[in-house]
């Protein structure tokens, strides 16, 4: 063993003399345990409701969604005491789902950035004065859990749109401060990487740098969108190369048939592959269900307002999966 260490030391020294920096050691995967399965979701409640209504076929279809881990979305719709209570419940449940001392991996989404969606279907958010304190509550409750936090979907890519022009100067810095708060609590953070059909790797990388990607663990792509895994992986690899080879995760909740013509409740969309960690040699950490299949994108294609559960759409996603 001593000889092996000596050879390694000599090799490192020769690399430094030649001006070549040795590759940094990869951090441990944040997805070491099983993905956390929330037992109280819209899909689970819909499954029970359909079964009670005497429709076992629809209930069985809905179970295909209810049985899969989905991210837990956190927003300003919960007052602080309720949010603290919910976070504690999830932490306890994740510990119970773990094995061999390893808790299930919690995946949260923060979705309360001021002027969220810049006036679009998913508008809302906290005030600017309240946003960092809101993140501090999350950090306090999740400290020590190594939970994964997907920070504010669409918050960066949307800044290229004219409707978000008023947020260009202040939002990236605000997100960077939120990342500091969450990272200081030992949480694993991923920032908005857009998707393969939005800004492109060079433009998205600029926003990520401004928003503190150096402190974050990586970025996410395809959240609430429909592009195929291979297309997203190709794009994410190019983006990773521009932001220090950061890792990434991909939302595959509804990309089973790829893009079908619109981002808002598209007809013909299907569930993607089941969520799972993806250990290996690439920078892809996991395929996740971030968007909850069955939650409306907004009042389009006969859907209810954004964020509202929609049985018919959930069942269509299952049927279209085949």
pTM of the prediction? 0.90
Sole residue written with tokens 């409707």: 163
- Is 55 known to be catalytic? no
pLDDT of residue 304: 94
Residue 17 lies in a domain: no
Measured CA to CA in angstroms, residue 190 lies from 176, 193, 213, 270 at distances of: 11, 9, 8, 25
Residue 16 lies in a domain: no
| pLDDT greater than 50 at residue 130 | yes
Residue 4 lies in a domain: no
| pLDDT greater than 70 at residue 18 | no
pLDDT of residue 25: 61
Distance between terminal CA atoms of the chain?
A: 54
| pLDDT greater than 60 at residue 161 | yes
Bridge-based pairing state of the strands 276-277 and 284-288: antiparallel
- Is 180 known to be catalytic? no
| pLDDT greater than 50 at residue 41 | yes
| pLDDT greater than 50 at residue 212 | yes
Average pLDDT over every residue of 187-195 = 98
Q: For residues 149 and 139, give the distance between their C-alpha atoms in angstroms, rounded to a whole number.
A: 10
Total domains in the chain come to 1
Structure tokens that stand for 244 in this block: 């220090």
Residue 283 lies in a domain: yes
Q: For residues 140 and 122, give the distance between their C-alpha atoms in angstroms, rounded to a whole number.
A: 27
Q: For residues 219 and 133, give the distance between their C-alpha atoms in angstroms, rounded to a whole number.
A: 23
Query: Of the residues 38, 42, 117, 285, which is catalytic?
Result: 117
Residue 19 lies in a domain: no
DSSP 309: B
- Is 297 known to be catalytic? yes
Residue 114 lies in a domain: yes
Residue 120 lies in a domain: yes
Residue-wise pLDDT for 265-322, tens only, equals 999 999 999 999 998 879 999 999 999 999 999 999 999 999 999 999 999 999 999 7
Query: Of the residues 154, 192, 217, 251, which is catalytic?
Result: 154
CATH at residue 217 = 3.20.20.40
pLDDT of residue 119: 81
Structure tokens that stand for 61 in this block: 């279809």
Q: Closest Cα to residue 63, out of 320, 314, 321?
A: 314
Q: Is 133 exposed, middle or buried (0-12, 13-18, 19+ CB in 10 A)?
A: exposed
Q: For residues 116 and 74, give the distance between their C-alpha atoms in angstroms, rounded to a whole number.
A: 13
pLDDT of residue 12: 46
| pLDDT greater than 50 at residue 15 | no
Full residue range of the structural domain in which residue 99 is found? 29-321
Residue 23 lies in a domain: no
């Amino acid at each position: 063993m001593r000889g092996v260490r000596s050879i390694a030391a000599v090799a490192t020294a020769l690399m430094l003399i030649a001006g070549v920096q040795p590759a940094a050691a990869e951090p441990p995967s944040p997805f070491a345990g099983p993905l956390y399965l929330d037992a109280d979701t819209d899909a689970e409640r819909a499954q029970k409701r359909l079964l009670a209504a005497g429709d076992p076929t629809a209930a069985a279809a809905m179970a295909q969604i209810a049985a899969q881990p989905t991210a837990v979305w956190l927003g300003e719709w919960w007052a602080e005491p309720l949010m603290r209570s919910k976070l504690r419940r999830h932490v306890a449940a994740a510990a119970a789902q773990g094995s061999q001392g390893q808790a299930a991996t919690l995946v949260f989404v923060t979705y309360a950035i001021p002027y969220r969606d810049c006036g679009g279907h998913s508008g809302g958010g906290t005030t600017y004065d309240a946003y960092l304190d809101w993140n501090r509550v999350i950090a306090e409750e999740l400290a020590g859990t190594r939970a994964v936090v997907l920070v504010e979907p669409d918050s960066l890519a949307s800044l290229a749109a004219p409707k978000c022009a008023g947020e260009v100067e202040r939002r990236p810095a605000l997100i960077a401060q939120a990342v500091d708060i969450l990272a200081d609590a030992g949480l694993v953070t991923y920032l908005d990487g857009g998707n393969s059909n939005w800004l492109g790797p060079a433009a998205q990388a600029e926003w990520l740098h401004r928003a503190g990607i150096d402190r974050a663990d990586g970025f996410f792509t395809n959240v609430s969108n429909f592009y195929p895994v291979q297309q997203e992986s190709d794009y994410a690899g190019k983006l990773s190369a521009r932001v220090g080879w950061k890792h990434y995760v991909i939302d595959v909740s509804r990309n089973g048939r790829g893009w079908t013509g619109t981002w808002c409740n598209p007809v013909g969309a299907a569930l993607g592959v089941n969520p799972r960690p993806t250990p290996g040699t690439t920078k892809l950490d996991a395929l996740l269900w971030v968007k909850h299949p069955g939650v409306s994108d907004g009042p389009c294609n006969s859907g209810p307002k954004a964020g509202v559960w929609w049985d018919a759409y959930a069942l269509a996603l299952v049927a279209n999966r085949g």
